[in-house]
Amino acid sequence: MDAVAAAVGGRILRELAVVLNRLADAADRVGAAHETFDRYGVHLDTERSAADGDGWRGAGAAGSHRPTERTTT
């Protein structure tokens, strides 16, 4: 790689880093990252609860497939 290509590649990576940092800052300002993580945690807890109860797999079910529809409380 010649010096010009390396300089252009380095400049592009720096510009990309700046844009990604701005995007992350904007997401933090509105709390999107935390809200998304919290929603993930709630869904994960729901999945674990359903796996322990009859909502995941009924007593007479064969195999380990998930039902097509289930309800959560």
Q: Which run of H or of E encompasses 4?
A: helix 3-30
- How many structural domains is the chain composed of? 1
The reported pLDDT for the residue numbered 49 is 81
Successive 10-residue mean pLDDT values, the chain, 73 residues: 79 91 82 76 85 61 56 58
Does the residue 71 lie in any domain? no
Does the residue 28 lie in any domain? yes
Task: Give the range of the structural domain holding residue 26, as residue numbers without chain letter.
Answer: 3-46
Does the residue 7 lie in any domain? yes
Does the residue 29 lie in any domain? yes
Burial 4-28 (b: 16+ CB within 10 A, else e): eeeeeeeeeeeeeeeeeeeeeeeee
Does the residue 54 lie in any domain? no
The reported pLDDT for the residue numbered 66 is 58
Distance CA 33, CA 55 (A): 30
